[in-house]
Amino acid sequence: MNENQSGPKHIAVIMDGNGRWANARGLPRKAGHRAGAEAVREAVEICQDLNIDYLTLYAFSSENWDRPEDEVKALMKLLERFLKTKAREIAKKNVRLRAIGRLHLLPDHVRVELDRVIEDTQHNNGLTLVLALSYGSREEIVDATKSLAQKITRQEITPDEITNETIAEHLYTSDLPDPDLLIRTSGELRLSNFLLWQLSYAEIFISQKNWPDFRKADFEEAIQEFTRRNRRFGRV
């Protein structure tokens, strides 16, 4: 009997393949991003049905800022629309919204909507939806290191007091449990600078489907695969 038989409590997803989904249908990339946003709404409902406590979605990476300006603007407009519409639907279902990343880099109009939804849902106690926005794990570790260095300079702590737990407390995810399961869609086999610290012992599930096509049966397959694995965390 595996110790993880009850299933994952925290699922993280690298939502890959929106552009490929659109290209396969002869549609512009922005159509794929719109389909991906709808898939997010469905994923929240699915995770609620499956009794998942936390869902973290890699929505916009720090590297995504290097995409063509028109595409970045379209993605930010889509994010704002998602927060104004679908996030309200999500909030009514007792979902709490969180965001991690260098959020100060987001456009003001996006930050206003993001802050509003986070504040409006802060007392919800159902599924916690975490959006990784303007997020890069290396940048997160750099920010944590800077914060610790400042505390050392102020003599609040000494270098010898720095432990795994200390570093974790200075990450963007300090109040969240580490993911148990990472899902990556579109068949890609890399972490892409996503939660490098937090995913140290996560189980990984790769799907060949593009994100807009990833449905409840696919989540159930990933969870079933998770429950079949023996998570030893380095032990025998």
Catalytic annotation, pick one of 16, 18, 180, 210: 16
Beta bridge partners of 57: 13, 131
Nearest CA-CA partner of 94 in 55, 124, 51, 130: 124
Annotated catalytic, 16?
Answer: yes
Domain coordinates of the chain in residue numbers? 10-136+177-228
Domain 10-136+177-228 superfamily per CATH: Decaprenyl diphosphate synthase-like (3.40.1180.10)
Beta bridge partners of 55: 11, 129
* pLDDT at residue number 5: 55
At 97, phi and psi to the nearest 5? -100, 135
Per-residue pLDDT of the chain (236 residues; tens, 9 = 90+): 454 458 999 999 999 999 999 999 999 999 999 999 999 999 999 999 999 999 999 999 999 999 999 999 999 999 999 999 888 888 889 999 999 999 999 999 999 999 999 999 999 999 999 999 999 999 999 999 999 999 999 999 999 999 999 999 999 999 999 999 999 999 999 999 999 999 999 999 999 999 999 999 999 999 999 999 988 776 65
Nearest CA-CA partner of 37 in 59, 20, 10: 59
* pLDDT at residue number 198: 98
Q: Yes or no: say if 103 and 134 are a contact pair by the CB < 8 Å rule.
A: yes
User: What is the value of pTM for the model shown?
Assistant: 0.94
Rounded CA separation 150/135 (Å): 22
Q: What is the DSSP letter of 103?
A: G
Rounded CA separation 138/112 (Å): 26
How many CB atoms within 10 Å of residue 118? 17
Nearest CA-CA partner of 98 in 142, 48, 55: 55
Catalytic annotation, pick one of 4, 64, 124, 193: 64
Rounded CA separation 28/39 (Å): 17
Rounded CA separation 173/185 (Å): 23
